């Protein structure tokens, strides 16, 4: 079976976890500090580690003082985590359409959904590409919006020569088991805004004021004050130990993802039944590989037939504005989302695949459609 995605771990990760277990300090400590230092160097900006990507989004929005009555613009074609992070603040996720080529948020559609309550926009870097991110920032600046990038798919991606996370307002990454790097579960917030960074450092530890610095040294605050609502959103040393090893070999992991995506593109190039994303995989580090098959009527049948040949596929994503919790009657149609949502299919992509696997998947897709 060629899996759609999987965690890819080596001896270094296993040894690092064993080291943490042997030291018998499993909570948030020195390893988390070390992971944050490495990430800060990677991005060139302050970085706070948290328990997953969803909590990174949640805390970032809260740090921007987004709450009940506020609205956040977000593409409908995203993981449910983006929407849940917004509603967890008591704010309203406002579903926006996507650009039909890049599958990232269409800021012109977002513009039509602005209200006096709109406080932020959450672009999601679909599959690893950022779409027209510069235009999103221009739109946000003109309309006085915070930008919280859901960069869960885009760890390592370069945009105009700069790493996602190294520029802009706030970027949130996920290190869950199948992302470009993993720490088991995990995530981080990257920003130059020290109010956001300091807010997240306290809020991830139940709001205990300035507890992070003590925890890094294996200590904790016994005599403390709390000024705001917090959560148990910190990262553990076990997770950080995995994350550090993954980050140290990220260049190799990224290269395999990029070369597999290039190979898929090459095989599909010239086949007008199959459309692929307009990504340059010298810059984009792809988390998933998605194709669109215009006019596809029976996606489930295609998925089943691929599975019979030992190929696992998926659909990224269900449209969030169709879900019971988020659907609203006065939402004007999301034309691109609705016409393409049933025509996209995600093919296997992970660093443990070989070129033979990629070719096998691509050839079988071509045969079956």
| Nearest Cα residue to 48 out of 235, 183, 188 | 188
Taking CB under 6 A as the rule, does residue 184 contact ligand PLP?
A: no
Q: Which is nearer to ligand PLP, 149 or 274 (CB)?
A: 149
- Which residues, in sequence order, are CB contacts of 356 under 8 Å at separation 6+? none
* Residue 52 is a binding residue for ligand PLP (CB under 6 A): yes
149 lines the binding site for ligand PLP (CB under 6 A): no
Nearer of residues 107 and 175 to ligand PLP, judged by Cβ: 175
Is there binding between residue 174 and ligand PLP (CB under 6 A)?
A: yes
Instruction: By CB under 6 A, name the one of 17, 20, 46, 54 that touches ligand PLP.
Output: 54
What are the residues whose beta carbons fall under 8 Å from the beta carbon of 109, sequence distance 6 or more?
96, 97, 334
Smallest gap from Cβ 104 to ligand PLP, in A, equals 11
183 interacts with ligand PLP by CB under 6 A:
no
**Looking at beta carbons only, is 46 or 187 nearer to ligand PLP?**
187
Where does this chain touch ligand PLP (CB under 6 A) — which range of 10-18, 146-154, 228-236, 261-269? Answer: 146-154
> Within 13 Å, how many C-alpha atoms sit on residue 224's CB side?
16
Kindly state the smallest distance separating residue 336's Cβ from ligand PLP, in Å: 18
Composition of the chain by helix, strand, coil, percent to 5: 40, 15, 45
Query: Which one, of 335, 333, 359, 332, lies nearest residue 348 by Cα?
Result: 359
- Binding to ligand PLP by residue 124, rule CB under 6 A? yes
Cβ-based neighbours of 150, under 8 Å, separated by 6 or more = 53, 57, 74, 78, 79, 81, 82, 122, 123, 124, 125, 172
Specify whether the CB–CB gap between 184 and 238 falls below 8 A. yes
Q: What angle do CA 254, 235, 248 make, to 5 degrees?
A: 30
User: How many whole angstroms separate alpha carbon 50 and alpha carbon 186?
Assistant: 6
Does 156 engage in binding with ligand PLP (CB under 6 A)?
no
Choosing from 101, 176, 338, 343, the residue that interacts with ligand PLP (CB under 6 A) is 176
Closer to ligand PLP by CB, 77 or 208: give it: 77
Does 246 sit near ligand PLP (CB under 6 A)? no
CB-based burial label for 223 (10 Å; 0-12, 13-18, 19+): exposed
Q: Give min distance, CB of 240 to ligand PLP, in A.
A: 14
Nearer to ligand PLP, 187 or 364 (CB): 187
CA distance linking residue 67 with residue 51, whole number of Å? 22
The yes or no reply on residue 188 touching ligand PLP (CB under 6 A) is no
Which residues inside 70-89 make contact with ligand PLP, applying CB under 6 A?
78-79, 81-82
Tell me if 122 contacts ligand PLP by CB under 6 A: no
For residue 53, state whether it binds ligand PLP (rule: CB under 6 A). Answer: yes
Q: How far apart are CA 56 and CA 61, in angstroms?
A: 9
Residue ranges that bind ligand PLP, judged by CB under 6 A: 52-54, 78-79, 81-82, 124, 150, 152-153, 174, 176, 187
């Amino acid at each position: 079976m060629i899996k759609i995605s999987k965690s890819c771990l080596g001896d270094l990760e296993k040894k690092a976890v064993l080291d943490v277990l042997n030291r018998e300090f499993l909570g948030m400590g020195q390893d988390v500090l070390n992971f944050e230092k490495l990430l800060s160097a990677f991005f060139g900006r302050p970085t706070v580690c948290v328990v997953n990507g969803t909590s990174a989004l949640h805390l970032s929005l809260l740090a921007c003082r987004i709450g009940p009555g506020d609205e956040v613009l977000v593409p409908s074609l995203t993981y449910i985590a983006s929407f849940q992070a917004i509603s967890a603040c008591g704010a309203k996720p406002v579903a926006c359409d996507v650009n039909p080529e890049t599958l990232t948020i269409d800021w012109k559609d977002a513009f039509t959904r602005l209200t006096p309550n709109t406080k932020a926009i959450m672009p999601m870097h679909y599959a690893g590409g950022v779409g027209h991110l510069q235009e999103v920032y221009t739109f946000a600046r003109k309309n006085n919006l915070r930008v919280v990038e859901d960069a869960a798919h885009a760890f390592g991606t370069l945009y105009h020569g700069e790493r996602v996370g190294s520029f802009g307002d706030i970027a949130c990454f996920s290190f869950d088991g199948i992302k470009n790097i993993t720490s088991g579960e995990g995530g981080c917030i990257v920003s130059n805004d020290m109010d956001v960074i300091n807010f997240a450092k306290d809020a991830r530890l139940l709001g205990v004021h300035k507890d992070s610095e003590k925890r890094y040294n294996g200590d904790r605050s016994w005599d403390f004050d709390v000024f705001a609502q917090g959560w148990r959103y910190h990262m553990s040393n076990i997770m950080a130990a995995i994350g550090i090893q993954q980050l140290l070999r990220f260049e190799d992991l990224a290269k395999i993802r990029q070369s597999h995506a290039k190979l898929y593109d090459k095989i599909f190039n010239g086949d007008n039944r199959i459309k692929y994303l307009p990504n340059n995989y010298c810059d984009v580090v792809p988390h998933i590989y998605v194709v669109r098959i215009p006019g596809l009527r029976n996606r489930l049948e295609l998925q089943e037939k691929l599975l019979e040949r030992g190929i696992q596929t998926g659909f990224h994503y269900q449209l969030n504005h169709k879900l019971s919790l988020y659907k609203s009657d006065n939402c004007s149609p999301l034309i691109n989302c609705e016409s393409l949502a049933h025509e996209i299919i995600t093919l296997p992509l992970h660093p443990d695949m070989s070129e033979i696997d990629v070719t096998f998947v691509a050839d079988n897709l071509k045969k079956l459609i």
